[in-house]
Amino acid sequence: MTTVYVPRDAGALSLGAEAVARAIARGADSRSQALRMVRNGSRGLYFLEPLVEVDSPGGREAYGPVSAADVPGLLDAGLLEDRPAGTGGPAAKHPLALGRTEDLPYLKSQQRLTFARVGITDPTSVEDYVAHGGYRGLERALSLDPAAIVQAVTDSGLRGRGGAAFPTGIKWKTVHDQAADRKYVTCNADEGDSGTFSDRMLMEGDPLVLIEGMTIAAVAVGATQGYIYLRAEYPHAHRTLIEAITAAYGAGYLGSSVRGSGKRFDLEVRLGAGAYICGEETSMLESLEGRRGEVRVRPPLPAVKGLFGRPTIVNNVVSLSTVPVILERGAEFYRDFGMGKSRGTLPIQLGGNLRRGGLVERAFGLTLTELLYDYGGGSASGRPLRAVQVGGPLGAYIPASQFDTPVDYEALSGIGALLGHGGIVAFDDTVDMARMARYAMEFCAIESCGKCTPCRIGSTRGVEIVDRILKGIEPGANIALLEELCETMVQGSLCGLGGMAPFPVQSALKHFPEDFRRARQ
Amino acid sequence: MEALTASQRETVRRILTRMRDRPGPLLEILHGIQDHLGFVPGAAVPLIAAELNLSRAEVHGVVTFYHHFRHTPPGRHIVQICRAESCQSMGAEGLAEHAMRRLGVEFQETTADGAFSLHPVYCLGNCACSPAVMIDGELYGRVTPARLDELLAQREPSK
């Protein structure tokens, strides 16, 4: 019986994967062909989605992008027929045949550690997860002293992948060292940055690795309750996480005695409600407690006084999902990837105006040029790329003249940019950078929690100033005023929203001044 | 403020009874109410406040802080168009203008016949397939104006 893989990933579904899956099932039925269908995650090659794969003795064969209308032709070409060992399947000559998935250049050159199983396994099957190396990290952690788990994470050099890049092990040690009647592990899955989707892909494609990472964190610091704070814009991830958590409970990996260790860990998903600010950790904790997502003043740090006043780990989805491989393979194994102070691998997300958007997990150190052209294939529109925004709506715009910059924390901060959550959005030469600057201020005004004045009022004034510039009203004086306002917001805001929203504005002013000197009708 | 109907009141009561003892339950309760009623009626606020021992102002403050919670009944279909940077780089502004023209509404409004509510959204996590649209929780990628027309027509063929 042939096994066929059709992704259940929201991105693949957005391009018609559900209709493809139905057409394959219907076609197989009418041909009386037996078939086993796995609804996997996405391999992250979105330019080939919906990507259909078929098991074969030599490795999986890929076909894509497949539409429902292509399915009868694929079945006629022998998509579901048995593959004799050592040969391509009978459908290998079909125009949509891509050869072995693992040989696709986009995938072959990647170093997938965190994403090792995404697109390969059945996301909610514990059995499949374990068969592909899952839960080895937890087994190892359960054999270690909690302090040794924390040490391994510290030694790996893992830094928070949500954007702040704070060393994960140091955060864990703080929670570990607190005496408290109760501690929490929380996962920040409020992936709100435009251009980012690695959290979503992980939660939909390998949710058990996140659950395992959170369980290891709980064992390390002595926490008994975990929450995944998931943004409401991700209904598919929500369903997958709930299925996976139920499966983990059923297999004894969550609950009153994790794998018979006597250690309790309970986990649930809580939905956000469309507030970008709740990706800021203290605001997320407020929201989890059922309040307005206004930021808290630090100190105290969440690691000391977090959720419901207890010591709390707050980590991003990718950070937590990277912990299992560190425990399984060892801190040195992970640390040996990367460069300088940026250790390990980074799942980079290529979005916006690119021919080949998708997910690229590689050791730190690739340049923007390599990512945008070797992987991304240049612009989707065929026009020259003019700018990229790295790190979401609070990240700087980088001009083409700086595309030789390596993508790591230090190199980007060296040119006044930031890596954030690793999303790269590309723009072609039709982009109007003054309008993008206006949008940055507008977004900040919409999403400001309202607690501090520079962010709440400054962002609205910023929109008004850019509007005057766009109309050609006293451009010199208004540009000077805008620069001054940006400085006030950077210096005077409580958290990163007001403090960083000026970055795209300042970088647009610096690198694309011509766009601010031209009056629009 | 419009009073709750008997069945709305019953729904709110049921959700409160089920969730009030959970840690930090307010967002969960509001989600539960919106999932069942389609919005969070203003008249539900005093009931929630009394049950959780909060002031009405506190509950109102939470309901109005989060963009997700609606204060009026939505149309039969909820259309969300992503306005974030990645989708802008692939023509989302033009797509949004097309949607407004076709439906004859602005963002945050519902068509006069109650068929569609149009909302902006700031990233659906589909940035490799921009521009993205979500309709009634279904995600769509690389949406052109013509494709959007098809998707709307599938839901309300007469439109």
What residues have CB less than 8 Å from B108, skipping those under 6 apart?
Answer: B118, B119, B120
Does A232 sit within 8 Å of B139, measured CB to CB?
no
Residue of B nearest to A194 (CA): B123
Q: Which of B15, B34, B127, B138 to mutate to test the interface with A (most CBs of A within 10 A)?
A: B127
CA dist., res. B119 & res. A155, Å (int): 46
Task: Tell me how far the alpha carbon of residue A482 is from its chain's centroid.
Answer: 32
CA dist., res. A472 & res. A61, Å (int): 57
Q: Which of A182, A233, A277, A379 to mutate to test the interface with B (most CBs of B within 10 A)?
A: A233
Looking at the complex, report in whole angstroms how far the Cα of residue A353 sits from the nearest Cα belonging to chain B: 6
Q: Is any Cβ of chain A less than 8 angstroms from the Cβ of B32?
A: no
The pLDDT tens digits for A269-284 are: 999 999 999 999 999 9
Compare CB distances from B128 to A274, A358, A439 and report the shortest one's residue.
A358
Q: Which of B19, B129, B138, B151 to mutate to test the interface with A (most CBs of A within 10 A)?
A: B129
> Topology of domain B77-155, per CATH?
Glutaredoxin (3.40.30)
Q: Would you list the domain boundaries of chain B?
A: 6-65, 77-155
Domains, chain A, ranges and CATH? 2-103 (3.40.30.10), 126-335 (3.40.50.11540), 338-428 (3.10.20.600), 433-516 (1.20.1440.230)
Q: Is any Cβ of chain A less than 8 angstroms from the Cβ of B66?
A: yes
Does A350 sit within 8 Å of B85, measured CB to CB?
no
Assess: ipTM above 0.90: yes
Does A233 sit within 8 Å of B62, measured CB to CB?
no
Looking at the complex, report in whole angstroms how far the Cα of residue A294 sits from the nearest Cα belonging to chain B: 9
Lookup: tokens for A59:
């490795």
The pLDDT tens digits for A133-160 are: 999 999 999 999 999 999 999 999 999 9
Whole-number percent of chain A with pLDDT over 70: 99
For residue A426, the SS3 value is: strand
- List CB contacts (< 8 A) between B87 and chain A: 194
Residue of A nearest to B147 (CA): A15
- How do beta strands A184-189 and A312-316 pair? parallel
Compare CB distances from B139 to A13, A275, A431 and report the shortest one's residue.
A13
Q: Tens-of-pLDDT digits for all 521 residues of chain A? A: 899 999 999 999 999 999 999 999 999 999 999 999 999 999 999 999 999 999 998 889 999 999 999 999 999 999 998 887 666 678 888 999 999 999 999 999 999 999 999 999 999 999 999 999 999 999 999 999 999 999 999 999 999 999 999 999 999 999 999 999 999 999 999 999 999 999 999 999 999 999 999 999 999 999 999 999 999 999 999 999 999 999 999 999 999 999 999 999 999 999 999 999 999 999 999 999 999 999 999 899 999 999 999 999 999 999 999 999 999 999 999 999 998 999 999 999 999 999 999 999 999 999 999 999 999 999 999 999 999 999 999 999 999 999 999 999 999 999 999 999 999 999 999 999 999 999 999 999 999 999 999 999 999 999 999 999 999 999 999 999 999 999 999 999 999 999 999 999 999 999 999 999 988 86
What average pLDDT is seen over chain A? 96
Lookup: tokens for A508:
């647009």
Buried b (16+ CB within 10 A) or exposed e, A446-478: bbbbebbebbbbbbbbbbebbbbbbeeeebeeb
Residue of A nearest to B82 (CA): A194
Does A193 sit within 8 Å of B24, measured CB to CB?
no
Compare CB distances from B127 to A47, A233, A349 and report the shortest one's residue.
A349
